Amino acid sequence: GAVVSQHPSWVICKSGTSVKIECRSLDFQATTMFWYRQFPKQSLMLMATSNEGSKATYEQGVEKDKFLINHASLTLSTLTVTSAHPEDSSFYICSARDTASTQETQYFGPGTRLLVL
Amino acid sequence: AQTVTQSQPEMSVQEAETVTLSCTYDTSESDYYLFWYKQPPSRQMILVIRQEAYKQQNATENRFSVNFQKAAKSFSLKISDSQLGDAAMYFCAYHSGGGADGLTFGKGTHLIIQP
């Protein structure tokens, strides 16, 4: 089946620093990728839609200047958490939509645990 | 905006028995997709089953089946012959048809399998 990877799987950083998370579709092309955030014991919340070659679209309440998204190729989207603070500590999950598939399915990466000290 | 409601925070079932997880949703659209995802302790999201709204036939995948009631906007998941490996969080999710939108998730149901 389709595989999506995320890197890193774990990151600990100091408050005020920036962290970049990569999301890659390994065996398919993804014009569209999505970034979700999941706080402990909660559900996944869509943060933004990443579109290859164009600007990302952000959900209401998500600061686009804080969560920078770049989708430079058909297999890679990156999420940069700028000037991270402890409240940004969360589990970040990406998903990718197979451009060639006729079935509407999103494939999820394994997630990235971010801890901001 | 679409909403997805899972009213059972936690369910428990004996191994080999059958359990049904509930999900209701609210939408004004006629074309959409519904999903059940499993999230084990590893937190990797695993697709369990998919249902297209235009299909009247309920989707099935081995021991997993759904009861899709479009008029009632209900989408329950039945797990037959429950196994220890089925223990996980289960999320119901909605996707708007015809667009490259993200998923709207319910709050999830924690499924416990009693040996």
- pLDDT for A18 equals 97
Q: Within B2-108, where are the H helices? A: none
How many CB pairs (< 8 A) connect A and B?
53
- In this prediction, residue B97 carries a pLDDT of 78
- From A48, A52, A14, A45, select the one nearest A34 (Cα to Cα): A48
Rounded to whole angstroms, how far apart are CA atoms A45 and A109?
15
What's the confidence (pLDDT) of residue A2? 86
Query: For the residues B51-65, what does the mean pLDDT come to?
Result: 94
Mean local confidence (pLDDT), A17-33:
94
Q: Does residue A75 have a pLDDT over 90?
A: yes
Q: Let me know: does A106 contact A97? Beta carbons within 8 Å.
A: yes
Query: pLDDT digits over A26-72, tens only?
Result: 999 988 999 999 999 899 999 999 988 889 999 999 999 999 999 98
What pLDDT score was predicted for residue A98?
84
Cα(A25)–Cα(B65) distance, integer angstroms: 29
Chain B CB contacts of A44 below 8 Å: 45, 91, 103, 105
Tens digit of each residue's pLDDT (9 = 90 or more) over B71-96: 999 999 999 999 999 999 999 999 98
Report the C-alpha gap between A53 and B108 in whole angstroms.
34
Q: Residue A37 in contact with residue A91, Cβ under 8 Å?
A: yes
The answer to whether residue A103 scores a pLDDT higher than 80 is: no
Neighbours of B43 (CB within 10 A): 15
pLDDT band at B99 (very low <50, low <70, confident <90, very high): low
Interface of A with B in 43-82 (CB under 8 A): 43-46, 49, 51, 59
